Chain A
Amino acid sequence: MSTLERRTFLKTSAMAAATAAVSQRAGGAAAAPASDGIHWDKAPCRFCGTGCHVKVGVRDGKVVAIAGHPDAEVNKGLLCVKGYHVGGILYGEDRLKHPMLRRNGVLERISWDEAIDIAARKIMEAPERFAIYGSGQWTIPEGYAAQKLIKGGLSNNHIEPNARLCMASAVTGFISTYGVDEPAGCYDDLDACDVLILWGNNMSEMHPVLFSRFYDRKSRGEKITLIDLGTRRTRTTEFADHYMEFRPQSDLAIANCIAQQLIERDAWDKEFVEKHCAFRADADLTKPDLMGVAIDFENYKQRVAEYTPEKVSEISGLPVEQLRLLGDLFADPKVKITSTWCMGMNQHTRATAINRLVHGIHLLSGKFGSPGNAPTSLTGQPSACGTAREVGTLCHALPGGRLVAKPEHREQCEKHWNLPAGRINATPGHHTVLMWEKFCTPTAEGGDIRTILVQVTNPGQSLPNLHKLFRAKKGLDDKFLIVSDVYPTATTELADLVLPAALWVEKNGVFGNSERRTQQWFKQVEPPGEAREDVWMTIAIARRLYDLGHPGMKDKDGNFIFRFTDDAGNEVPVWEYDRFHEINVDRALYDDYRPLTFLKHKHLAPYDVLKEHTGLRWPVVEQSDGSFRETRFRFSEFDDPFVKKGNGIEFYHSTTNDGRAQIWFCPYEAHPEEPDEEFPFWLCTGRVLEHWHTGTMTMRVPQLRGAVPNNYVEIHPDDAREAGIGNGDKVVLATRRGELELSAWINGRGRPPRGSLFVPFFDQIRQINLLTLDAHCPISKEPDYKKCAARIRKA
């Protein structure tokens, strides 16, 4: 057989096998073609912030096939390994199917009526000590309902998303620089840039489809340069033209070194800076805040002057030539540079600072506001932007970029929700780390959080320093943990009340991805057993509170705060589950939320427009012909309709109210837990391609679990040899907070330099977050999962 014939032969048999598998599964005749009887609809992928769109194939009430959506601009039909298996997450054997209450230490099945009643009574006992903890996987309507219940109903601001652990620093970086959150650029920059700089960003592992989009240009022979600025070699490094390995924390010095060179060489973009920028720094470095104080250019110049390539080479370990290469690129007005980052910059004890600095070098060099020139943060969750950031499900925020501390913002929300004046509390609630610390502290010792409702996230595995922030709850009898989830998790292990939830296409939803793209989907299959929608749970709890007489559950006119009507104007009691699907509650909540997005020019598309697309990037503005147009490049006159004609670039939410963005100076500062004699290694944690976050979904998909069944510790061969550790050996990894037995992987997928270790966090059995540090950025309050001091020995 010739090579060609053999290949064709293999192809054919594989296709036949796959076809047979599909028809067997659906109970159909073995000969039936795979596509027969399959109904196709669309949805965004359930996993990462890239926001690929998939086609979902349903037959006989089950998701039987998945395909990349060929019309989706984000992924053009491509998916990563997780995306191809996304349907499998619905069908793990241990789906939670019934509400359960812990009695004498054991979870026992109860009815939904009981479950909702217990939750409401717990809240009623001390509404001010109740907290909601959700995530960037909340759909927009889910987050909006939770936000309205707690802030508008209970006058309590203790609501946080896990995005505090993930995107909070990007938010403070954007707000202190531009006065408004979220990237100005979008993924199209990857199609236009000459240079892509990844700041501690392993894009091919974490945002694989996005990286394909860039890499595809390279494989077509385009001259584009990839710079991997990282602290260990990764899958992405293999594709890089320049790998720049820096000492953890010294990214601050590297960014300052680029600014120093631009000024030293007189190569900064004077026209851009004079027209569009101002300079800023922290007033008091020991107490940094969000807004800082204005400084002049001379002051800025003086402060960056010490970051010469020679000095920064000493701090960072990068050779002077590499630092000069970065300087050359930013100094060249013809080179288009896109910078991207994710957790490497955000999970950092000086996270707001490094975010500001990267924005700063793009502004100083004028590499901003045209296709290919952009500083862009990537999100890890499918709706970190859409829900956590835009709906503002954070303890200090209100929907649409508003703040609880601002009287006019509270007033706007009270008016919009038809609430009596003064209903919304002016004091921000507890941020994530504090919320869980208070929950795990006995009430008598000041632990002022008593009941927490957790939705769509797994803090029992994802919080840092888990002994202190989660496990210490055990034995505190007056603390009550309510967990809505789809599978048993590390969090349900300590839950007092477990609520079984509908997942992904078992409910309607709207997500917002990294590039401001809002995506909508409809429910396509029934949830298993008695599992129900999170948004229904929130409304049902609110209704029970209303029945129990909580005054906050009524608006100014005495109506229930979640009042929905049908087309004829009659109220539909959606809190009764058998009436819940009479109207599209998602749509009603989204329609109610949408006008709140206009204040900060984050105009979302109407629901009916959204449902016709695979997502649209806000601001989505109505045109004179009644159609809606998305915006790819914010603040740039050629694309953003809110920039005044003739201004070219305009930062219309400038913190200084003069259309200018802020170029910040922030110094390099050492990490609070640098390696020392006792704990001589840096420990970094993160994700792997095959698993998403804590693995609760991906570990239920046999192909993904089989591909990477457990976590491990990556170690440099020389360090391993010195410690007598061989590949695959059991080792004990320890930090000041605990120890963990893992197996060692030498020259594995990632290759840390000497003195560094890396462990993924998806493994529920070997939880690395028992060891991580809860030290956080003073401004964003986001903890540093990427650096702490550790030691390792053979077990």
Chain B
Amino acid sequence: MSGVSRRDMFRVLLGRGREEVPQAPPAAPVASSGGDELALILDRFCLAWQGSFCSVCSERCPEPGAIVVEQGKPRVDPGKCTGCRVCHDVCPAPRNAVFLVARKARGGMIGKTVDETRPEEPDHE
């Protein structure tokens, strides 16, 4: 095998492989804030996006179609996500890859909310 492809192997993970993963239980789930949040999957932390494999969030999401999986990689459809947090609670990634962000502006928030910035590319490279 050539040196080039050796170096290229798993290039998607360069940077990640050298990070340590804390071996600690996850934080306790936080109650849903009732629909004013939206899940976002951060490719940087998501196993499926990082060359490993995972499908847990899309399997456990109670909202049909809220997590769309293409070629094994999930993304959240903001139009269908209810912000129920299930995906966040079950995500087994070393650093939880699901973030819940506010749909409506909260007091004192700087910048726009996710809904206010729609439509745009999903949060992936």
Chain A residues at the B interface, C-beta cutoff of 8 Å: 1, 3, 5-7, 10-11, 14-15, 17-18, 21-22, 25, 34-35, 38, 55, 57, 63-68, 70, 75-81, 84-85, 87-88, 91, 188, 191-192, 204-205, 208-209, 211-213, 215-217, 219-220, 235, 238-239, 371, 689-690, 702-704, 706-708, 748-749
Contact = CB atoms under 8 A, between A and B. Distances in A.
B52 A702 contact: no
A188 B22 contact: no
A216 B10 contact: yes
B70 to A, nearest CB: 9
Given A21-B24, A77-B14, A212-B10, 13 more contacts: A1-B111, A3-B117, A35-B20, A55-B20, A67-B21, A76-B10, A77-B10, A77-B17, A81-B52, A84-B93, A91-B23, A216-B8, A703-B26
Given A216-B12, A689-B53, A18 B95 contact: yes
A85 B94 contact: yes
Contacts of B72: 204, 235, 238-239
Nearest to B56: A707
A76 B92 contact: no
15 contacts: A1-B111, A10-B42, A14-B95, A18-B22, A22-B20, A25-B24, A67-B17, A67-B20, A80-B47, A81-B92, A204-B53, A215-B51, A216-B10, A703-B26, A706-B92
Contact of A70 (B18, B50, B96, B120): B18
A490 B17 CA distance: 36
B9 interface: yes
Interface in B28-67: 40, 42, 44-45, 47, 50-56, 59
B93 to A, nearest CB: 7
A67 to B, nearest CB: 5
Contacts of B22: 18, 21-22, 25, 34, 64-65
Contacts of B111: 1, 5-6
A65 B26 contact: no
Given A25-B22, A78-B10, A212 B51 contact: yes
Contact of B93 (A11, A34, A81, A371): A81
Contacts of B89: 706
Contacts of B24: 21-22, 25, 64
B17 A76 contact: yes
A77 B112 contact: no
For chain B, what secondary structure do more than half of its interface residues adopt (helix, strand, loop), or is it mixed?
A: loop
Query: How many interface residues does chain B have, given as a range?
Result: 35 or more
A14 B45 contact: yes
Contacts of A34: 20, 22
A84 B94 contact: yes
Contacts of B26: 702-703, 706
A209 B51 CA distance: 8
Given A78-B52, A208-B52, A706 B90 contact: yes
Contacts of A216: 8-12, 51
A303 B112 CA distance: 73
